[in-house]
Structure 1
Amino acid sequence: MAEPDPTRTPKMRADKVSVFYDGKQALKDVSINIHDDRVTAFIGPSGCGKSTFLRCLNRMNDTIPSAKVTGDIELDGQNINSDAVDVVQLRARVGMVFQKPNPFPKSIYDNVAYGPRIHGLANTKADIDAIVEKSLRRAGLWEEAKDRLQESGTALSGGQQQRLCIARAIAVDPEVILMDEPCSALDPIATAKIEELIHELRGRYAIAIVTHNMQQAARVSQRTAFFHLGELVEYGKTSEIFTNPREVRTQDYITGRYG
Structure 2
Amino acid sequence: MTDVSPSPIKMAARDVSVFYGAKQALNQVSIDIDMDNVTAFIGPSGCGKSTFLRTLNRMNDTIPSARVEGTITLDGEDIYDSSMDVVQLRARVGMVFQKPNPFPKSIFENVAYGPRIHGLAGSKAQLDATVEQALRKAGLWDEVKDRLHDSGTALSGGQQQRLCIARAIAVDPEVILMDEPCSALDPIATARIEELIHELKGRYAIVIVTHNMQQAARVSQRTAFFHLGTLVEYGSTSDIFTNPREDRTKDYITGRYG
Pairwise same-fold verdict (TM > 0.5):
yes
In structure 2, give the amino acid aligned to 1:127.
Q
Q: Which residue of 2 aligns with 1:63?
A: 62
Deviations 1:229-259 (Å, cap 9, x if unpaired)?
0000000000000000000100000000111
Runs of 4+ in structure 1 over 3 Å off: none
SS state of the match for residue 9, structure 2?
Answer: coil
Distance in 2, Cα, partners of 1:29 & 1:106: 41
Indicate whether 1:86 and 2:85 are aligned. Answer: yes
Q: How far, CA to CA, are the matches of 1:197 and 1:111 in structure 2?
A: 19
Equivalence for 1:165? 164
- For the 8 Å contact 1:135–1:167, the answer to whether it is kept is yes
Which residue number corresponds to residue 228 of structure 1? 227
Count matched residues: 255
Contact residue 11 and residue 33 of structure 1 kept, 8 A: yes
- Per the TM alignment, residue 9 of structure 1 is displaced from its structure 2 partner at its CA by 4.9
Report SS of the residue matched to 1:166. Answer: helix
2:32 is equivalent to residue 33 of structure 1: yes
Q: Corresponding residue for 2:202?
A: 203
TM-score in terms of structure 2 length:
0.98
Q: Deviation string for 1:24-73 (max 9, x for gaps)?
A: 10000000000011100000000000000000000000000000000000
- What secondary structure is seen at the aligned counterpart in 2 of 1:11? strand
CA–CA separation in structure 2 for the residues paired with 1:253 and 1:88: 37
Q: Which runs of 5+ in 2 are unaligned?
A: none
Partner of 1:187: 186
Shift of 1:83: 0.6
Q: Tell me how far apart the structure 1 counterparts of residues 26 and 210 of structure 2 sit (CA, whole Å).
A: 17
| Cα distance in structure 1, aligned partners of 2:165 and 2:229 | 28
Does the 8 A contact of 2:8 with 2:35 survive in 1?
Answer: no
1:22 deviates by: 1.0
Q: Are the counterparts in 2 of residues 99 and 184 from structure 1 also a CA contact under 8 Å?
A: yes
Kindly indicate whether the alpha-carbon contact (under 8 Å) linking 2:5 and 2:34 is maintained by their aligned counterparts in 1.
no
1:98 CA drift (Å): 0.1
Does the 8 A contact of 1:9 with 1:76 survive in 2? no
Using the TM superposition, give the Cα deviation of residue 214 of structure 1 relative to its aligned residue in structure 2, in angstroms. 0.2
Q: Helix, strand or coil for the counterpart of 1:147?
A: coil
CA contact 1:95–1:176 (8 Å) conserved in 2: yes
Cα displacement string for residues 73-100 of structure 1 (whole angstroms, at most 9, x for unaligned residues): 0000000000110000000000000000
Q: Is 2:103 aligned against 1:104?
A: yes
3-state DSSP of counterpart to 1:128? helix
Find the aligned partners of 2:5 and 2:19 in 1 and give their Cα distance: 35
> 2: CA distance between counterparts of 1:135 and 1:24?
40
Instruction: Tell me the distance in 1 between the aligned counterparts of 2:109 and 2:8.
Output: 36
